[in-house]
Structure 1
């Protein structure tokens, strides 16, 4: 049965997923904690990663192809597409947590300072989890003019942290917003959840984004478990020159809300993707697998499924010209 791509649903105050979903709630905590206790995988690199650095002068010259990607880490990406610059899920802080004293810590510093970023045309916020939505980073943009495009309910936090209301566009699944005259952003469903604490779970929405310029069409998947909706999204909005899909933070106790490389590669195919960029890995310890496992597994799957991968080094602005590119940066640290 096709997934409804337009309009989210709620039960009372809470948004619900497009299909029934086990969100790994409190009932899973005992088994999850036990798995963490007995886990022996290298979830944190034994060697310090980086430092990775970005030369800001590169942004003075537009990419010849019209599409260039700078991976800041995790799901934070500086996208240059057809004359526009878009930043996704910006997290510059050391920890993806409500406190900078504890919680998942970055494996490497953000490769470019916030003050050194080029002028932006838009910032996208997919959902309100700490590893995608960082208060200190958002506050940096309070006195600037860049507009924000976010899922329903997330604007509450943006205003609270200093972003003027007229700079915020909240979007439901299926909504389309224009950035300038010739670029559009459209939200699509994902299979995930939201919340920044033990209360108010799922009271804000979670989304993926179709970003379509005058030449390129790309997909920012944010966080999602596998669901047949990827096929519907591919039919409605594809094909895509590039898909950016999460491959990390998967586990046996939460298969419905994160894909891992196996399902992410299937999602790429369902989306009618050209190049596939793996995101949401190699930056924070959020699961039980080795920090490098997602990318190595994906490379194996890509060979089997004939998927062309795009895996740049953090902080390295890399132009996309339809050719696969695997930097292999992580192998220096194993």
Structure 2
């Protein structure tokens, strides 16, 4: 089964199904909810600090698959002898300025200059909480290949990444790395834009990463849609799905999933083990900061799901056995 590529109307990329992107018409009710919100959307207790022992990367994972969660959607993925970094945001704030905007609940666990050698950096889309200019500018001199969605390369070039290292991909495109690993882009139900004047002029994507032994799915940002079943049929089953569970809200159900839809996506994708991402790092919604994982644990128990929930900054092997570090419990 071959997935369809993206479509455009004029210069605007389109979602795979009609989608309410929580635009200007939702701005006033959303602002009012933020002003009257009583939930603990930012932790009362500081989280961390979390620290990664970089010497661990000198020894390959026995299982062939090891994940270090740097927070939000930032992952250091070691899969079948290759290493990839996804959506790295090392700055204190995911914003157009470091003077205000959503602030990290904890610093990135590993300094950028201590990262192991990478085979690639994956950028799902151009939103500030996934695509950080300062981080990219720091990594650009390392001459690491970038794999990203259509249109995002313009920023990478501007920030110092060599043009020959930028691989822009449409939904369904595949690149081969090192002869035995492929990266394939898949559709998501979201939107893009780093300002109010250029919405949806770049594409948003998920990524299938398939090595000689393991097959994993990096979901990035998406609302629920039946396309997850198509992806599962075309590229599954997956040893691990990494799916967003945070930043959901009643005013934007089409563009972020929340725990219930994430579980449904995991099942549709034919996932064997599920890792929750996109939570516990920034205040981007009205729910309590720990609510997404609390709900996920309840759902996982009902559905008998195998979860993978490591502590931030802790390199952890994916073995197929359920793993829950419960790191957040000490910060309630």
TM-score with structure 2 setting the length: 0.99
Equivalent residue number for residue 169 of structure 1? 167
Question: For 1:201, what is the secondary structure of its paired residue?
Answer: coil
The Cα of 1:38 is off from its aligned counterpart by: 1.2
**1:149 Cα offset (Å):** 0.3
In the other structure, the counterpart of 2:244 is 246
Structure 1: gaps spanning 5 or more residues: none
Report the CA distance between 1:274 and its aligned residue: 0.6
**2:180 maps to 1:151:** no
Structure-2 residue corresponding to 1:257: 255
- For 1:77, which of 63, 75, 78 is the aligned residue? 75
Does 2:11 correspond to 1:13?
yes
Within the candidate set 127, 136, 139, 2:137 is matched to 139
Provide the residue aligned with 2:118 in structure 1. Answer: 120
Counterpart check, 1:310 vs 2:322: no
Report the secondary structure of 1:198's partner residue: coil
| 1:104 pairs with 2:92 | no
1:274 alignment partner, SS class: coil
Any unmatched runs of 5+ in structure 2?
none
Q: Is the 8 A contact 1:6 1:175 kept in 2?
A: no
Structure 1 residues 1-334: aligned runs within 5 Å: 5-334=3-332
TM-superposed CA distance for 1:144, in Å, is 1.1
Task: Provide the rounded CA distance (Å) in 2 between the counterparts of 1:233 and 1:129.
Answer: 23
Give the total of aligned pairs. Answer: 332
Shift in Å, 1:141: 1.5
1:225-266 deviation per Cα after TM superposition (whole angstroms, max 9, x unaligned) = 000000000000000000000000000000000000010000
**Runs ≥4 residues deviating over 2 A:** none
Paired with 2:122 and 2:331, the residues of 1 have a C-alpha distance of 31
| Aligned-partner Cα distance in 1 for 2:7–2:324 | 39
Instruction: Give the alignment's Cα RMSD to 1 decimal.
Output: 0.8
